């Protein structure tokens, strides 16, 4: 039956209307001439397990998973990748021919690839990294920085306990810095990452003092609405190399698209424009 089936993919979350993934994957499908579709799906919590079981029957080859289901899907998958296990969440599911679900997490990959492509001169081993925030996004960033070879990872969070939990889990390379002293850790950092939601439209501003930033530091924000946050604006004015958060979203989508549709897509200017439409 499946010989000429049109491959379907999509993104599951709730709410889902804000997701940029449908424009992004839609752009790749169209520009690569692939006969397939990518659909946003707002699924209620109580329906999640049943929906996942039924999607392959409809012709779905996989889905992305976003808030609030990234952790929950680990328990619904048949196979969980090492990355998803370490990060404790999955963002990319593949439905295999034998009917099983494979859960992976490509956020750490997307984070690093974005920096490699957007800041080619960046050297993660050049000095310590400083991470603001200790939520779900921070877990992927910490794993990415650790695996890429950051010599030290300083982490500061409003709720200190969450940063300490990460330290417990990811070990000696991590050092917890109190939130009131977050500005101080920037003085030694070669890589600085905001993983909090501060600075996002509708959220309070990030109030950490930035005057300690080193001029040759790479500064990046996971917030991409607005694209240029005040945090990035200040860093840029101080001479730092800055990278916005849209690129991580684009790069984390690459492995899923390749697995589902069989072609590895490029992340370029047109891709960015499509995701912003
Ligand atoms: P995500 O999965 O996107 O990281 P999250 O797990 O809710 O979302 O984490 C949000 C991050 O933003 C956390 O580090 C949070 O700090 P707390 O752990 O103290 O909640 C941070 N954050 C959100 N609002 C904040 C605020 N007003 N001041 C300081 N940090 C804030």
Q: What is the CATH number of domain 8-105?
A: 3.40.50.10860
- Give domain limits for the chain: 8-105, 108-247
Average pLDDT, 10 consecutive residues per value, the chain (277 residues) = 83 96 98 98 98 96 98 98 98 95 98 97 97 97 97 98 97 95 97 98 96 96 97 97 97 98 98 96
**The domains spanning 8-105 and 108-247 adopt the same CATH topology:** yes
Residue 26 to residue 37: CA distance in whole angstroms:
7
Report which secondary-structure segment, H or E, holds 113: helix 107-118
Amino acid 94: pLDDT: 98
CA dihedral 171, 235, 116, 120 (to 10 degrees): -130
Residue 179 to residue 166: CA distance in whole angstroms:
15
Amino acid 1: pLDDT: 53
Bond from prior residue into 15 cis (ω within 30 degrees of 0): yes
* CA 163 / ligand 1 centre spacing (Å): 11
User: Among 236, 231, 272, 240, which residue's Cα sits nearest to residue 253?
Assistant: 272
Please give the span between the terminal C-alpha atoms of the chain, in angstroms, as a whole number.
36
Amino acid 3: pLDDT: 66
Q: Are 187 and 214 in contact (CB under 8 A)?
A: yes
Amino acid 99: pLDDT: 87
Closest atom of ligand 1 relative to the 222 alpha carbon = 3
Amino acid 2: pLDDT: 53
Amino acid 80: pLDDT: 98
* CA 230 / ligand 1 centre spacing (Å): 17
Residues counted in the chain: 277
Pick the CATH number of 108-247 from 3.40.50.450, 3.30.300.30, 3.30.70.1090, 3.40.50.720: 3.40.50.720
Lining residues, ligand 1, CB within 6 Å: 133-138, 157-159, 162, 195-198, 204
> Residue 180, Cβ neighbours under 10 Å: how many?
11
Quick check: is 70 catalytic?
yes
Amino acid 264: pLDDT: 98
Specify the residue with its C-alpha closest to ligand 1, atom 18: 159
């Amino acid at each position: 039956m499946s010989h000429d089936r049109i491959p379907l993919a999509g993104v599951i979350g709730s709410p889902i209307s804000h997701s940029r993934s449908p424009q992004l994957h839609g752009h790749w499908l169209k520009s690569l001439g692939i006969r397939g579709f990518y659909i946003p799906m707002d699924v209620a919590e109580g329906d999640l397990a049943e929906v996942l079981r039924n999607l392959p029957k409809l012709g779905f080859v996989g889905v992305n998973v976003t808030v609030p289901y990234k952790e929950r899907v680990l328990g619904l998958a048949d196979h969980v990748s090492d990355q998803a296990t370490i990060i404790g969440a999955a963002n990319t599911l593949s439905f295999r021919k034998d009917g099983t679900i494979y859960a992976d997490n490509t956020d750490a990959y997307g984070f690093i690839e974005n920096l490699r492509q957007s800041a080619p001169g960046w050297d993660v081993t050049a000095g310590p990294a400083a991470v603001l925030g200790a939520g779900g996004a921070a877990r992927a960033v910490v794993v990415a920085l650790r695996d890429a070879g950051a010599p030290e990872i300083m982490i500061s969070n409003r709720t200190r306990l969450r940063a300490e939990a990460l330290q417990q889990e990811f070990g000696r390379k991590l050092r917890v810095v109190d939130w009131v002293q977050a500005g101080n850790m920037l003085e030694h950092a070669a890589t600085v990452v905001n993983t909090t939601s501060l600075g996002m439209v509708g959220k309070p501003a990030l109030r950490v003092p930035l005057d300690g930033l080193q001029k040759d530091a790479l500064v990046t924000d996971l917030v991409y609405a607005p694209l240029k946050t005040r945090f990035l604006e200040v860093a840029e004015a101080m001479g730092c190399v800055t990278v916005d958060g849209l690129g991580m979203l684009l790069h984390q989508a690459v492995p899923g698209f390749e697995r589902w549709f069989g072609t590895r897509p490029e992340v370029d200017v047109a891709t960015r424009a499509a995701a912003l439409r």
